[in-house]
Amino acid sequence: MILLFTDFGLHGPYTGQMMHQWAPGIPVVDLFADAPVGNPKVSAYLLAAYAAWFPAGTIFLCVVDPGAGGMRPAIILKADGRWYVGPSNGLFELIQRRAGKTQKWDIDWKPEHLSASFHGRDLFAPVAAMLARGEPPPGRPRKDDADRREDWPDDLGEIVYLDHFGNAMTGLRATMLPEDVRLAAGGEVLERANTFSDRQPGTAFWYENSNGLAEIAVNHGRADRELGLSIGSPVEIVCCMKAGSGQSFI
């Protein structure tokens, strides 16, 4: 199965031109077509949260690539049995960091025609198809870590995605947060809830979403509008000091 993770948007020809190249027998699922536009850092936290949900053998075709036509490597990553194909611009940083076992290749296969602006169609989609057919990675083992972003945090205190309901996902994994932590965003300090129906309509709160991220929501409302949140808005951890502990954890 090929999973798509792109910032192409659902509209327009980009996804269609990638997909038509694959044999009908290969199942394709569009996971995100609206990853944060041109923002590999924020996208990296979103991808890592969702990829973990899929079985080994899944092939992730990931294109958030503001440097298309520029100078970033094109790579294949295998991490805990899942495959990732895309630009090496930090997009896979959290996947690698959280994986038990990784291998990387620099793609050295060249298409007959490589457009300057659409490597998703011309380079990454055909490579994903090769992997889907069970062929070996068309590249040579990657030797250096120039694609790593060691300075990025393990969890990101920013909004990484706004969904159709106006809920705002953060780059913070809920399991990394103490049970009684509060989050500050959009000028409000938010308590944790287990589900929407735990809170009065109109109340903003945060909860662990179905993929493990801390997510900000308003019961019967839209958190994006009511708190003025957008991609990259800061989210601060308001701690939850246990007397005498004084620990900071992120």
For a copy of itself, the binding residues (CB under 8 A) are 1, 3, 7-17, 19-20, 24-25, 27, 29-34, 37-38, 50, 53-54, 66-71, 115-118, 121-122, 161, 163-165, 194-198, 207-211, 220
Of 105 and 204, which CB lies nearer to a copy of itself in the complex structure? 204
The span from the CA of 250 to the CA of 248, in Å, is 6
The span from the CA of 3 to the CA of 83, in Å, is 10
Of 132 and 185, which CB lies nearer to a copy of itself in the complex structure? 132
Compute the C-alpha angle 146/151/157, nearest 5°.
135
The span from the CA of 22 to the CA of 133, in Å, is 10
- Give me the residues paired with residue 15 across strands: none
Of 22 and 105, which CB lies nearer to a copy of itself in the complex structure? 22
Using DSSP's 3-state secondary structure scheme, residue 50 falls into: helix
Of 211 and 239, which CB lies nearer to a copy of itself in the complex structure? 211
Q: How far is the CB of 50 from a copy of itself (least distance, A)?
A: 6
Of 50 and 105, which CB lies nearer to a copy of itself in the complex structure? 50
Q: How far is the CB of 246 from a copy of itself (least distance, A)?
A: 32
Give 3-state DSSP helix, strand, coil % of the chain, rounded to 5.
20, 30, 50
Q: How far is the CB of 208 from a copy of itself (least distance, A)?
A: 8
Q: How far is the CB of 141 from a copy of itself (least distance, A)?
A: 27
Q: How far is the CB of 245 from a copy of itself (least distance, A)?
A: 28
Q: How far is the CB of 196 from a copy of itself (least distance, A)?
A: 6
Of 210 and 248, which CB lies nearer to a copy of itself in the complex structure? 210
How far is C-alpha 12 from the chain's CA centre? 22
User: Which residue blocks in the chain are alpha helix, DSSP H?
Assistant: 14-19, 40-51, 93-98, 119, 125-132, 223-227
The span from the CA of 34 to the CA of 128, in Å, is 20
The span from the CA of 81 to the CA of 101, in Å, is 8
